[in-house]
Amino acid sequence: MEVGQTKSYDVIVVGAGLSGLQAAYDIQNAGLSCLVLEARDRVGGKTWTRKTKNGKLVDVGAAWINDTNQARIYEWTKRLNLDLIEQNTNGYCVMQEEDGSVGLFEYGSVPKFSPQETENMIKIRDLVESLSHATTEVHRQYDNMTFEQLVRKHGGGSTALATAKIWTRAMLGRDPFQVSAMYVLDYYKRLGGLLQARSDRKDGGQYLRIRQDCHWLLARACELRPLALAGAVGLCKEFAANPYMNTKDFERSYWELLLPDDLLKKDLIQPFP
């Protein structure tokens, strides 16, 4: 490309995670030209496959799916003839407490805390499960507090809060004090509720894994519909009549921003909403 030359596309997608790649695939199937911009040197977003010292591949990012409420990703595994493995739920789970001590408890049961701690933790768990099925109007009542504040407001003790940390760290990569209570409740609602989202059994969020790892899914998907990839995103300038994306070499009228909320930066979009 010559210096100063700008290449145009019908649509520019920002973010080469699963949502971005799916959007690009659908856009190209509709007959439009599309460019995917990704700031990192890989695609996949929250999925991330690394090579071990012995040369084997292991998923260190998002890895589990199900065939119940994750229809798009499940459809891709079938389309690409990938093998799926059911998560093992027989036996015991390992639990490490905040003081470093380690214990076991049978899958599907409750860890052995004191009777008071166990009762308190179950109360908070059942409350969050109930709220995760509530209407958006109910969820709005919790938009002005963090998830930690919700737990404490309803009498959650240290054990209940430590359990809540597992929920948000595992699913969102954030501690309870860092995320809106409304966001957490809405997130779990879209996954079928807290218990279904955390479950490793049928319908649960951790029910199936791809035997070939997520790297195969991404590689095979890109083979079906090659994508034009570009490096770090420059600046998104939005005007009422003509929104466009401007990087070092690319400019276009329409763009899709497919990034997790916590990755957005105020200098990425001007004016910032």
19 annotated ligand-binding residue: yes
**In Å, what is the CA distance from 135 to each residue of 34, 120, 171, 258?**
37, 25, 21, 26
Which phi and psi (to 5°) does residue 102 adopt? Answer: -120, 140
130 annotated ligand-binding residue: no
Listed residue (41, 77, 46) closest to 230, CA to CA = 41
Q: Whole-angstrom Cα distance, residue 171 to residue 196?
A: 12
Q: How far is CA 225 from the centre of its chain?
A: 23
39 annotated ligand-binding residue: yes
Would you list which residues are annotated within the binding site? 19, 38-39
Would you list which residues are annotated within the binding site for FAD? 19, 38-39
